Amino acid sequence: MIKILKNYKLEDVLSRKIDDYSEYEPTVRAIIADVAARGDEALRFYAEKFDGAKLDGLEVTAEEFEEAENSLSEELKAVIRQSAENIAFFHSRQRREGFEVEREDGVILGQKFTPVAVAGVYVPGGTASYPSTVLMDIIPARIAGVKNIVMVTPVKADKKVKPEILYAAKVAGANRIFKTGGAQAIAALAYGTQTIPKADVVVGPGNIFVALAKKMVYGLVNIDMIAGPSEILIVADGKSNPVFVAADLLSQAEHDKLASAVLVTDSEKLALEVQAEIERQLLAMPRETIARASIEANGRIIICEDMQKAVDIANAIAPEHLEVCVDEPMELLPKILNAGSIFLGRYTPEAVGDYFAGPNHTLPTGGSAKFSSPLSVDDFVKKSQYIRYTPKALEKAAPGVMKFAECEGLYGHANSVKVRVDKA
C-alpha cells in the first residue's frame, strides 16, 4: 500500500541514491573495445550471444519495411502518423536562427546554428515496444536538418524488428536502421563500423549497459542524457478526482519496479481516497506485480499545508513528469521551476504527453530537471560563433588585448596582435 506522510523529511520522500554500477563497467568497456576493433563481426557475435539472433546482414531491408507496414492495421498507422504530425508541430517551434551584429567600428560578431551530420538513435527492443520513442527521438533530428539519421535496435532469434517500430521510423524520417542493441550498438554509433556510420550525437533510452556505454563514449560523441527510472509527481487539491489521480500515479508505476509515483496534496481526505483507489485499480492491472512493487517501494502521498508548499516540494524533487491538478493551473505555472514536462489541469494526464500531444517524452530524471532539459531540436544542432575585425578595430583593441595576454604570461598571444599593428 502507498504510504501517506504528514510529518516528513524531504530527502526521505524520493530517495535518489547514486547507484554503484562498477560491477558492470568492465563488461561494457570490453564490449566497446571489441566493437571498435572488429566492427560488424563483433556486432554479429553479440547479437547471437545476447539475443540469440544469427544475423547475415545488420541493416533492415526495403522488403522488411514493406512487410512491416502491410502487417499493421490502418487504424494504428493513422494514429502513428497523427502523433508524428503533433510532435513535428511542436518541435518545429524550437528551430533557432543565428544572429549577426556589426558595430560602428566595423567589427562583425555573430552566431550560427548547424545541424550535426549524423544522428544516432537507440531504440530498446526488449519485452516492450515503444514506437512513440522512435517518433520522439527521430523527428527533432529531422526538424533540426540532420541529413543522416541512423537507428539501432536489437532483435531476437526471429531476426525481425517489430513492425510498429519500423513503421514509426519510416514516418519519422530515419534513413537507415540496423539490428543491433546493448552497449555494442552504442559503441557502433560512437566509432562506426564497416556498415554503420559514425554518429556525432547518440540519443535514446536503454538498460544499464546502454546507459554506461553512453557515459563511456561521451566526448567521442555527444549524448542526450542518462535516463533513470520513470517518475511522476502530482500536485492536487481537495477538489481533485481520486480515480483520476490514482490512475495517473499507476501509469508510471507500471513502467518498472524502480519507478516512483508521488502525490502532494493539501487534503487529507483526498490522500485517503487515492490510497484506497490505488489498491482497487491495482487489482485490474495486467502489470500489477510491477506496479505494486513500485508503489510499495517508491510511492508516497505527502500531505502539506497549501498549494504553495506543494509547489515548493515539487521544485525540490524536480520530477520527470509533473501534473498540476487544480482549477487554475496557469496561476501556478510561473512558480514551477524544476520539472521535465508539466501537465496542467484535471484533464491532462501524463499519458497524452507520452504519445500524442507533441512535446517530447524523453525527459530528465533523478532530479536532473534542476539543470537539464527534455530532448529537443537543440540536441541535434551545434552553435558556432564568428568574429571579424578591421585593421582600425584591431589597432584600437590592441593595447587591451596585449595587456591581458601579458597578464596571463602568454606573450605569443600578445605578439600575434603586435605584429599586425606594427605592420599597419
Extract the C-alpha cell encoding 409: 604570461
Q: Taking residues 80-87, what's their average pLDDT?
A: 98
DSSP code for 218: B
Under the banding of pLDDT at 50, 70 and 90, the label for residue 22 is confident
Tens of pLDDT, residue by residue over 313-344, are 999 999 999 999 999 999 999 999 999 999 99
User: How much is the pLDDT for 228?
Assistant: 84
Do the beta carbons of residue 328 and residue 346 sit within 8 Å?
Answer: no
Do the beta carbons of residue 2 and residue 301 sit within 8 Å?
Answer: yes
Low-confidence winner among 18-27, 209-218, 256-265, 293-302 (lowest mean pLDDT): 18-27
Q: Which of residues 83 and 8 earns the better pLDDT score?
A: 83
Place of cell 519485452: 127
User: How much is the pLDDT for 19?
Assistant: 59
Q: How far apart are CA 161 and CA 60, in angstroms?
A: 8
Percent pLDDT > 90 in the chain is: 91
Extract the C-alpha cell encoding 304: 502539506
User: How much is the pLDDT for 15?
Assistant: 55
Contacts (Cβ under 8 Å, ≥6 apart) of 261: 2, 231, 232, 249, 250, 252, 253, 294, 295, 298, 299, 300
Do the beta carbons of residue 159 and residue 398 sit within 8 Å?
Answer: no
DSSP code for 377: G
pLDDT exceeds 70 at position 411: yes
Can you name the residues that pair with 201 across neighbouring β-strands? 119, 222
Tens of pLDDT, residue by residue over 235-246, are 999 999 999 999
pLDDT exceeds 90 at position 125: no
User: How much is the pLDDT for 147?
Assistant: 97
Q: Which of 91, 164, 231, 321 is catalytic?
A: 321
Q: Taking residues 195-210, what's their average pLDDT?
A: 95
Which phi and psi angles does 38 have, rounded to 5°? Answer: -110, -15
- Supply the DSSP string of 30-87, one letter for each residue: HHHHHHHHHTHHHHHHHHHHHH----S-SBPPHHHHHHHHHHS-HHHHHHHHHHHHHH
Q: Alpha-carbon dihedral of residues 360, 365, 367, 368, nearest 10 degrees?
A: -70
pLDDT exceeds 90 at position 95: yes
User: How much is the pLDDT for 11?
Assistant: 65
Q: How far apart are CA 332 and CA 349, in angstroms?
A: 17
pLDDT exceeds 80 at position 112: yes
User: How much is the pLDDT for 7?
Assistant: 76
User: How much is the pLDDT for 6?
Assistant: 87
Average pLDDT, the chain: 95
Give this prediction's pTM. 0.93
User: How much is the pLDDT for 21?
Assistant: 75
Under the banding of pLDDT at 50, 70 and 90, the label for residue 13 is low
Q: Taking residues 6-20, what's their average pLDDT?
A: 65
Do the beta carbons of residue 61 and residue 214 sit within 8 Å?
Answer: no
User: How much is the pLDDT for 127?
Assistant: 60
User: How much is the pLDDT for 424?
Assistant: 64
pLDDT exceeds 70 at position 12: no
3 state SS of 342: strand
3 state SS of 292: helix
User: How much is the pLDDT for 18?
Assistant: 55
Q: Which of 254, 273, 320, 323 is catalytic?
A: 320
pLDDT exceeds 60 at position 247: yes
- Cβ atoms < 10 Å from Cβ of 104: 6
Do the beta carbons of residue 363 and residue 372 sit within 8 Å?
Answer: no
Q: Which of residues 10 and 161 earns the better pLDDT score?
A: 161
Under the banding of pLDDT at 50, 70 and 90, the label for residue 423 is confident
Q: Taking residues 7-30, what's their average pLDDT?
A: 75
Tens of pLDDT, residue by residue over 34-61, are 999 999 999 999 999 999 999 999 999 9
148-153/321-325 β-pairing:
unpaired
- Cβ atoms < 10 Å from Cβ of 413: 15
Do the beta carbons of residue 34 and residue 42 sit within 8 Å?
Answer: yes
The reply to whether 320 belongs to the active site is yes
The reply to whether 408 belongs to the active site is no
pLDDT exceeds 80 at position 366: yes
Q: How far apart are CA 126 and CA 272, in angstroms?
A: 37
User: How much is the pLDDT for 336?
Assistant: 98
